[in-house]
Amino acid sequence: MKAAVTRQPGPPEVIQVKDKPIPEVKEGWVLIKVKAFGLNRSELFTRRGDSPNVKFPLVQGIECVGTIAQDPSGSYPIGQKVAAIMGGMGRFFNGGYAEYTLVPLEIVFPFFSELSWHILGAIPEMFQTVSGSLHQALEIEPGETLVIRGGTSSIGMLACQLAKVKGLTVISTTRNPDKRETLLKNKADHVLIDTGEVSMALKKVFPDGVNKVLELIGTRTLKDSLKCISQRGTVCMTGILGNEWTMHEFTPMGDIPSLGRLTVYMGESKNLSKSLLQDFINEVEKGTVQLNIDKVITIDKVAEGHQYMEDNKAKGKIVVVL
């Protein structure tokens, strides 16, 4: 089979397409014939060698969609459409950047859909992250106000649509004023230009602050996001687009407002219900939710895809089809 192999930690060029044997199935694992996979920011960190305990060479890819090629447990028929997500995929065992991938049964999610593979390939990890952050971490409710910090990211764009379907008022941020229209077209009610600080501008429109903040930039803007919440408001840190894992000089009694709440969402396949994934795919089929796919590429172009993401040129998901 063809696989995009990350030979060692380094720049995008360390990813090279090679011939590899198709993995041999074993008890408790299923072999998936990969049809498509999305590229993810966390895969940039893994590629650079920043994910702890990861060994190279490695077939990366924390998600994929495809069909069951072999399942010794008999849980799924050959040809069943499935998604596989997280659970160590593409980190502690070879992942989705290949024509076939062998994954544990518990991270397999079956679905039925006639959508094309390039659309299905954009779904699993994006949906898992957005649904987990909004519903489980932030516990969003109709009528609430939500700031999405890093609004132009794939996660941010989808979060905006799901929050609007649920009846929230959404304020999306971008550093780039040229992307304002993109955010408004994606149904954001307000757009704020992020200079590293948006709390002052926000308070001009919402003097008491907002109920919820989805923080996708991370530790660089977290303190300012905590200034955006109203009493008993919640900030959920889900992303680190700002490329900084550790926060320096954080003073809980001071940086978190009194009664304010700070949480994180780290995304595990166990957080995703199988029926919720099918429901979401149905919404995409009906057109209620539109995915933002920036580029569809082939497996030979995975390294270029990483570079494109690293250069922040993507205005949505990059999907690789096989």
In the complex, the residues that contact ligand NAP under the rule CB under 6 A are 40-42, 125, 129, 150, 152-155, 174-176, 179, 216-217, 238-243, 265-267, 309, 312, 314
Nearer to ligand NAP, 102 or 309 (CB): 309
Nearest to 109 by CA among 3, 32, 27: 32
Nearer to ligand NAP, 71 or 125 (CB): 125
The length of the chain, given as a count of residues: 322
Nearer to ligand NAP, 115 or 216 (CB): 216
Residue listed under structure tokens 């907002």: 210
Classify residue 41 as exposed, middle or buried by CB count within 10 Å of its CB (0-12, 13-18, 19+): middle
Is residue 122 within 8 A of residue 291, CB to CB? The reply is: yes
Residue nearest ligand NAP (C-beta atom): 267
Classify residue 252 as exposed, middle or buried by CB count within 10 Å of its CB (0-12, 13-18, 19+): exposed
Q: In angstroms, what is the minimal distance from the CB of 9 to ligand NAP?
A: 17
Nearer to ligand NAP, 7 or 245 (CB): 245
Nearer to ligand NAP, 175 or 261 (CB): 175
Q: In angstroms, what is the minimal distance from the CB of 311 to ligand NAP?
A: 10
Rounded to whole angstroms, how far apart are CA atoms 77 and 101?
17
Rounded to whole angstroms, how far apart are CA atoms 214 and 216?
6
Nearer to ligand NAP, 101 or 152 (CB): 152
Q: In angstroms, what is the minimal distance from the CB of 15 to ligand NAP?
A: 17
Classify residue 161 as exposed, middle or buried by CB count within 10 Å of its CB (0-12, 13-18, 19+): buried
Q: In angstroms, what is the minimal distance from the CB of 65 to ligand NAP?
A: 16
Backbone angles phi, psi at 288, to 5 degrees: -65, -35
Nearer to ligand NAP, 162 or 314 (CB): 314
- Tokens, residue 294: 């920036």
Rounded to whole angstroms, how far apart are CA atoms 231 and 209?
8
Q: In angstroms, what is the minimal distance from the CB of 303 to ligand NAP?
A: 16
- Tokens, residue 275: 């029926």
Q: In angstroms, what is the minimal distance from the CB of 134 to ligand NAP?
A: 12
Q: In angstroms, what is the minimal distance from the CB of 208 to ligand NAP?
A: 26
Q: In angstroms, what is the minimal distance from the CB of 172 to ligand NAP?
A: 9
Task: Could you list the beta-strand ranges (E) of the chain.
Answer: 2-6, 15-19, 29-38, 58-59, 63-70, 81-85, 100-104, 108-110, 145-149, 169-174, 190-193, 210-215, 229-237, 261-264, 293-298, 317-321
3-state secondary structure at position 320: strand
Nearer to ligand NAP, 100 or 221 (CB): 221
